[in-house]
Amino acid sequence: MFGKSIVGIIAEYNPFHNGHLYHMNRSLETAGADAAVVVLSSSFVQRGEPAFIDKWSRTRMALSFGANLVLELPTAFSCHNAGVFGSAAVDLMAMTGVVTHLSFGMEDPEAPLEAAARILLEEPDSFKKVLRNRLNRGFSYAEARTFAIEHLLPGAGEMLSSPNNILAQEYVQRIIERNYPLRITPIKRTGAGYHSGSSGTFAGAGWIRNTVRTEGLSDPVRMVMPPEALSMLETEISRGRCILSLDVFWRILRTVLMRDGPSRLSRFAEMREGIENLLTASAARAGSFEEFVSLCTSRRYPRSKIQRFACHSLMGFDHRANRKAQRLGPPYIRVLGWDRKGQEILKKMRTASRLPVVTRPKGRPGTYQRMIADLEYRATSIWENLVQSPELFGESGNLPVRPV
């Protein structure tokens, strides 16, 4: 059984490493909780890339290292900007009806999160004036927002310069906006950042993926992952179930971009200001995904945004569906896996939740739930075609990960 406190963690575990284990343990300790619920990104992640290994393997990793129940953040929200990602993930946590705390990593847990959140929610005229000025000068929205909030709240701009702090800010902002009864539990990050090299026994997930793709499971990688997580990753690689190269992804993406052209691309989520013309022209010139992204990237359009443009066009995620998803949020809570304690939480959640709790999302044709489920099916089907050994019915055929 579990006590009254259940801590929620929003994660990608792409893949699970020592920093994640540290955060899991500190979250449980700091929140005084004896159970953890994880909301996990689906087949495509927030930075606009296919996940390194499938969501079922990442669920197993989570359950092996402290999570008791793992829920899915659908692709409509997991492969999106920080605001959409953070809002939807917090919505899911709150809608469970059982999570009491939300834990997240930060560079400085004492940073003025709540004060910054209120400025960003209220957007006073002084904030909007500085924001517009920076946007008109060609800065990205994230850069302009950081500058504007620093102008009103000294120190907040530096806080929002870190990707992890940006997500933390979005979480807190959503909690305040919706008045959710979630107690925030910031945990000081330790070790290397997302793309940083290894620092002893810690390294970022981006560094791990890049190193595995170039050097395999070398000694530096083995030092920064828990042995059981490393073994799981090794198994997925040997099974041909790990995306060790983006070459196939690039070939499929280039075909779609060249086939659709600017007129059709302009219909997809977040496409604006003629970016579809740049994507098409760059696809014609580039010989690899890396070159394509480099050709498209600018101060106004950072790498992650370009990659999300590409993913949305590949999935067929259009403006209409995107606007509806942002307006309505997640339509269901999908369970990816649980352990024995998680089974008890799940029983309580089925009566406490404010959303349908499902293991295989469906919905009647024409409904919003079906729209989100269909996008999930397309995204995971695309992911399966990027690995050497695809499971062609992986989305509809896999059952949740359960205790044996």
Spatial separation of the C-alpha atoms in residues 50 and 56, rounded to whole Å? 14
Percent of the chain with pLDDT over 90: 84
Top-level class of domain 7-107+185-244+329-397: alpha beta
Regarding predicted confidence, which is higher, 220 or 138?
220
pLDDT for the residue numbered 3: 62
Residue 382 confidence (pLDDT) above 60: yes
pLDDT for the residue numbered 36: 99
- pLDDT band for position 363 (50/70/90)? confident
pLDDT for the residue numbered 198: 59
Spatial separation of the C-alpha atoms in residues 303 and 46, rounded to whole Å? 12
For residue 253, the Cα-to-chain-centroid distance in whole angstroms is 21
pLDDT for the residue numbered 194: 47
- pLDDT band for position 107 (50/70/90)? confident
By the 8 A CB rule, do 84 and 137 touch? no
Angle subtended by helix axes 319-328 and 368-384, to nearest 10: 120
Helix, strand or coil, per DSSP, at residue 179: coil
- pLDDT band for position 197 (50/70/90)? low
- List Cβ<8 Å contacts ≥24 apart for 352-359: 352/96, 352/97, 352/98, 353/95, 353/96, 353/97, 353/98, 354/95, 354/97, 355/92, 355/95, 355/330, 355/331, 356/331, 356/332, 357/332, 357/333, 358/332, 358/333, 358/334, 359/334, 359/335, 359/399, 359/400
pLDDT for the residue numbered 404: 62
Q: Report pTM.
A: 0.94
Select from 82, 9, 60 the least CA-distant residue to 39: 9
Which secondary structure element, helix H or strand E, spans residue 186, and what is its range? strand 183-188
Average of pLDDT values for 4-24? 97
Query: What's the pLDDT tens digit per position in 162-176?
Result: 888 899 999 999 999
Positions of CATH 3.40.50 in the chain: 7-107+185-244+329-397
- pLDDT band for position 95 (50/70/90)? very high
Residue 282 confidence (pLDDT) above 50: yes
Query: What's the pLDDT tens digit per position in 252-265?
Result: 999 999 999 999 99
Query: What's the pLDDT tens digit per position in 121-163?
Result: 999 999 999 999 999 998 888 889 989 999 999 988 888 888 8
* Average pLDDT for the chain: 94
Average of pLDDT values for 201-220? 96
Contacts (Cβ under 8 Å, ≥6 apart) of 89: 10, 39, 73, 77, 171
